[in-house]
Amino acid sequence: MGRMKANTVILRGAKRRRFRNLAVMLCFAFIAGSLLVTGMLMAGAQSAVRTGSERLGPDMIAVPMDPTATSNGVFLICQPSDLYLPSSTYDEVLGTPGVTQAAMQAYVGTDQAWPRPLIVIAYEPSQDFTIRSLLASYLGRSLLDNEVLLGDSVYGSIGDTVSIFGQAFTVAGRLDPTSASADGSAFITMDAAERLVNDGVAGLSMQPGQISAVLIKADRSVGTDTVLHYVSAQNPNVLVFPLNNQGQGISDQLSLASQGLYLTVTVVILVSLPLILLISAMSVNERRREIGLMRSMGASQKDMFKMFFAEGIYLAAAGALAGAAAATISLFLFQGTFSRLLQTELVSPSMLDMTMQFLFAVLVAMLLAGTAALWPALKASRMDPYDAIRSGQN
Amino acid sequence: MIETNEVMKTYETLSGRITALDQANISIKDGEFVLIVGRSGSGKSTLLSILGGLTRPSSGKVMLNGKDLWAMNDEDLSEVRGSELGFVFQFPGLLPTLNTLENVMLPTMFCSKVEEDPSERATILLQTVGLGDKLDSFPNQLSGGELKRAAIARSLMNNPSIILADEPTGDLDVNTEKEIMDMFCRINKLGKTVVMVTHNQDLACFASRVLSMERGIVSEEEGQKCERI
Ligand SMILES: Nc1ncnc2c1ncn2[C@@H]1O[C@H](COP(=O)(O)OP(=O)(O)OP(=O)(O)O)[C@@H](O)[C@H]1O
Ligand SMILES: [Mg+2]
C-alpha cells in the first residue's frame, strides 16, 4: 500500500452520506435521463416524419389551367391527362419564392399493347423526390434512359426487358403499392420520352417540350398556403392544388410535443440545480472540521478544491450514467406508449444516433455538475483552516 | 525554532474589536516542551494556530525554522504544515469512513517527506501508541483515549520536527490524561519540539517551560516544580 489516495477518501466519504448523495445522483439521473428521452424521441419522431413526408411527396401540384378541372380530376400525380404545359413552366415554378423543390412529370401515353393498358409517365430523375421514395428497394443511382420503373400492379421483375410503345426497356426497379394510379404505371426518364416522341411512335399524347404537371415542395417556414398563392400569382397559366399532406400536421404536433419535453427538461434542471447547490453547501458546511483537519495535515487550497470538485463530478457522473442507462432501457420498453403519446410512429434510432444522444445527455449533465461543484469546491478551499476547525462539529 | 515578532490578532465583532493576541514576542527553541496555559478566552488557541500557520495574524511575523510563515504562498505554507508540523486537537478528528491505519496514513495524501512505506510506518506508529491491535478498527469502535492516541500517531506520520497540541487531554479522565502526557514526553525526548495548550495548570510539571496567557498577552511563568514525575 502506498500513500493515501484522495479518491479513496472521497469514495469512502460518499458511502457515509448515502441519502444526500443519492439525492444528488438522482437529480443528475433525472437531468441526463430526461435529456436523453427528449433527444431520442425527437430524433426518432423527426426521422419518422422525414421519411413519412418524403413518401407523402409534394405539398402541391401545378397543372394546366382547365375550366372543367375539378380537384379530383386533376389529382394528377402519375395520372393521365391530355392537358399539357410548356416545360419552361418548370423553371418559373422553381423560381417562385418559397418553393424549395420542384419536379416535372409528363403523361407520355397509354400503351394499349399491354394486357392491362399501361400508363407511361416520364419524370426527370435529377429533380425527382417522389418516385425515388416510392421505390421498393433503393436504386442508388439515377434511372437510365433505357430503363423503366414499374408500379406495384404492373407485371415484370427487375432485370426483365419489357416493351413500351414497341421499344425495349430494362426493369430497374419496382415501386411500393400506393393505392393510387401509380400502381398501374410505368416510369421512364424525360429523355426517353423525348426519344419516343422524336421517333414518331404511334399512340403518344405528349408533344416535344411538354409536361403535364410540376410537383412542388414548399418551404415549411413560409407555409404551404402562402407558397401556393405565390405560385398561382406568378404563373397565371397554371392551377395549383394543395395535396393532402399530413407531414405538416405531424411536424406541428411534434414541435408542440418537443416544446413540452424540453420544457420538462428545463424544469427538471431548474428544480434540481438549487437542490444540488443546497445539498453541496450543506455538505461543505458539515465538513468544516474535516476541511480544517486536512488543511492542518498539509492540504493546500488547491487540494481542497480538487477533492470537493472531484466528489461533485463523481456523484454527477454516477447519477447521469445511471439515469441515461435507465432512460435508454425505458425507451425500448415503452416505445409503443411514447409513440402513442406523440401520435407518431417512432423510428428506432441508429446505434450511432443513440450513442451520440447518450453522450450528449451525459455531457450536458457533467457540464451542469461542473458548474454546480464549482461553488462548494471554492467554498471549501477558501476557508480559513482555523475558522474551519473552530466552527466545525464532527 | 519558532520565533514571533510583535504578533497581533484582532477580531472585528458586532460588539467591537477583540484583541485575541497582543504583541506576542516569543521564542521556542528546538527540542523544548512548552506549555501554554491561561484562562478560557485568553487567546491560547489563537496563538497556537498562528504558530501553526492555520490562521493569519493581523500583524507581525512568525519565523518557523528560518522561514517567514506568513510571507509564503498557500502551496508552500501547506507544505510546511504537512511536513514540519504535526497537529493534535482537543477533538480527535479521525475520519469516520477510514479505519485507524488509513486515518494515520492520511497526512501522506498531501505531502510526504518520509521515505518508508506509509502503511509500514503507520503500523509502527500505531504499535508505539499501543494500538497495534486496532489497525482495522473504525473510529466509532475506539474509546476516547484510543482515538486521542491514534490522533497523536497521525500527527507523527510525516515525521514533523514540531508538534502543536491544543488541549489534547481536554476531555479525558485523569489516568488517560497522564498516559497521553507521558506519550508527549516521549515524543519530546525523541527530539521533537512540543508546544501544548492547556488550561490545566497541573500539567506544568511535564513541560520544560510554561507560557502563561492573559487577555491576549503572553508572559513567561517561572519556578514550576514537577511533583508528578
Ligand atoms: N473567529 C473569531 N471571531 C471573533 N472572536 C474570536 C474568534 N476566534 C477567537 N475569538 C476570540 O478571541 C479570544 C481568544 O480566543 P481563543 O480561542 O484563542 O481562546 P482560548 O484561550 O483558546 O480559550 P479556550 O481555553 O476556551 O479554548 C476569545 O475572546 C474569542 O472569543
Ligand atoms: Mg482554545
> DSSP letter string over chain B?
-EEEEEEEEEEEETTEEEEEEEEE--EE-TT-EEEEEE-TTSSHHHHHHHHTTSS--SEEEEEETTEEGGGS-HHHHHHHHHHTEEEE-SS----TTS-HHHHHHGGGGT-----S-HHHHHHHHHHHTT-TT-TT--GGGS-HHHHHHHHHHHHTTT--SEEEEESTTTTS-HHHHHHHHHHHHHHHHTT-EEEEEES-GGGGGG-SEEEEEETTEEEEE-----S--
What residues pair up with B24 in beta bridges, in sequence order?
A: B7
Whether residue A344 has pLDDT greater than 70 = no
CATH fold of B1-84+193-222, please?
Rossmann fold (3.40.50)
ipTM of the complex model: 0.92
CA distances to A18, A317, A380, B97 from A13, rounded to whole Å, are 9, 16, 15, 6
Residue-level pLDDT at B120 = 92
pLDDT digits (tens, 9 = 90+) for A268-280: 888 888 888 888 8
pLDDT of residue A306: 93
Report how far residue A215's alpha carbon sits from residue A213's, in angstroms, rounded to the nearest whole number. 6
The pLDDT value given to residue A73: 37
Ligand 2 centroid – CA B221 distance (Å): 19
Q: Which one, of A284, A290, A293, lies nearest residue A374 by Cα?
A: A284
Rounded CA gap, A283 and A314, in Å? Answer: 15
Higher pLDDT, B129 or A70: B129
Ligand 1 mean position, distance from CA A151 (Å): 94
Chain A interface disruption, residue of B49, B85, B94, most A CBs within 10 A: B49
Contacting residues for B90 by C-beta, under 8 A, at least 6 apart? B166, B167, B168, B170, B171
> Could you report the per-residue pLDDT of A124-147, keeping only the tens digit for each?
988 888 787 777 777 778 889 999
Other beta carbons within 10 angstroms of residue A352's beta carbon come to 8
Counting as low any pLDDT under 50, the low residues of chain B are 227-229
DSSP state of A348: P
Q: Note whether B96 contacts A16, CB cutoff 8 Å.
A: yes
The answer, for A141 touching chain B at a CB cutoff of 8 Å, is no
pLDDT exceeds 90 at position A319: yes
Interchain contact A15–B (C-beta under 8 A): yes
Q: What does each C-alpha distance from B130 to B120, B146, B169, B180, B206 come to in angstroms?
A: 15, 8, 17, 11, 21
Amino acid A300: pLDDT: 94
Answer whether B81 sits within 8 Å of A296, measured CB to CB: yes
From the list A4, A294, A390, which residue is nearest B118 (CB)?
Answer: A4
- Reported as half-sphere exposure (CB side, CA atoms, 13 A), residue A227 has a value of 28
| CB contacts, 8 Å: B119 with chain A | 1
Is B38 close to ligand 1, i.e. is its CB under 6 Å away?
yes
Grid coordinates in use for A109? 401515353
Give the list of residues 6+ apart from residue B115 with CB closer than 8 angstroms, or none: none
> How far does A299 lie from chain B, in Å, by closest CA?
5
CB of B114 within 8 Å of a chain A CB? The answer is: no
Distance CA A189, CA A105 (A): 9
Ligand 1 atom with minimal separation from the B44 CA: 21
Are the beta carbons of B98 and A12 separated by less than 8 Å? yes
Q: What pLDDT score does A251 carry? A: 57
d(CA A124, CA A106): 9
Whether residue B98 has its Cβ less than 6 Å from ligand 1:
no
Please indicate whether residue B11, judged by its CB atom, sits closer than 6 Å to ligand 1: yes
Which ligand has an atom closest to residue A383 CA? Answer: 1
> What is the Cα–Cα distance from A296 to B151, expressed in whole angstroms?
12
* Percentage of residues of chain A with pLDDT beyond 90: 19
| Residue of chain B with shortest Cα separation from A297 | B82
Instruction: Say if the Cβ atoms of A302 and B75 lie within 8 Å.
Output: yes
C-alpha cell at B144: 476516547
Hey, are the CB atoms on B74 and A301 less than 8 Å from each other? Answer: yes
Question: Which one of A17, A21, A283, A293 would you mutate to disrupt binding with B, by most B Cβ within 10 Å of its Cβ?
Answer: A293
Mean per-residue pLDDT over chain A, rounded: 82
* Whether the predicted pLDDT of A115 surpasses 80: yes
**C-alpha grid cell, residue A317:** 457522473
Rounded distance from Cα A189 to ligand 2 centre (Å) = 97
What is the layout of strands, in order, in the sheet containing A161-164? A161-164, A167-174, A147-150, A185-189, A118-123, A99-111, A213-218, A60-64, A238-242
Q: Where are chain B's structural domains?
A: 1-84+193-222
C-beta of residue A96 within 8 angstroms of C-beta of residue A102: no
Q: How far apart are the C-alpha atoms of A204 and A107, rounded to whole Å? A: 9
- Residue B229's Cβ-count burial label (10 Å; 0-12, 13-18, 19+) is exposed
Q: Is A299 on the interface with B (CB under 8 A)?
A: yes
Ligand 1 mutation target, pool A383, A384, A387, A391, most atoms within 8 A of CB: A387
**Overall average pLDDT of the A62-83 stretch:** 58
- Measured distance CA(A365)–CA(A309) in Å, rounded: 15
Only one residue has cell 417522389, namely A130
**Which three cell numbers mark A155?**
407485371
A386 touches chain B (CB under 8 A): yes
> Is B56 close to ligand 1, i.e. is its CB under 6 Å away?
no
Which helix (H) or strand (E) segment holds residue A169: the answer is strand A167-174
Mind telling me how many Å the CA of B225 is from chain A's nearest CA? Answer: 33
Inspect the interface and report whether the beta carbons of A300 and B105 lie closer than 8 Å.
no
Q: Which residue has the higher pLDDT, A73 or B213?
A: B213
- pLDDT at position A245, please? 53
Ligand (nearest to CA of B166): 2
CA gap B116, A354 in Å, rounded = 51
What mean pLDDT do residues A4-22 have? 84
Q: Give the C-alpha separation, A156 to A247, whole Å.
A: 32
CA angle (B221 as vertex; B215, B227 as ends), nearest 5: 125
Interface test with B, best of A300, A305, A383 (most B CBs within 10 A): A300
Convert B135-151 to b/e letters by CB count within 10 Å (16 or more is b).
Answer: beebbeebeebbbbbbb
Q: How far apart are the C-alpha atoms of B81 and B209, rounded to whole Å?
A: 24
Residues 6+ apart with CB under 8 A from A58: A77, A103, A129, A130, A215, A216, A217, A243, A245
pLDDT of residue B146: 92
Cα–Cα distance for residue pair A363/A313, rounded to 1 Å: 11
Q: How many CB pairs under 8 A join A and B?
A: 104
| Distance from residue B45's CA to the centre of ligand 1 (Å) | 7
DSSP string, A248-314: HHHHHHHHHHHHHHHHHHHHHHHHHHHHHHHHHHHHHHHTHHHHHHHHHTT--HHHHHHHHHHHHHH
pLDDT higher than 50, residue A72: no
| Residues whose Cβ atom is located within 5 A of ion ligand 2 | B 45
pTM, two decimals, is: 0.69
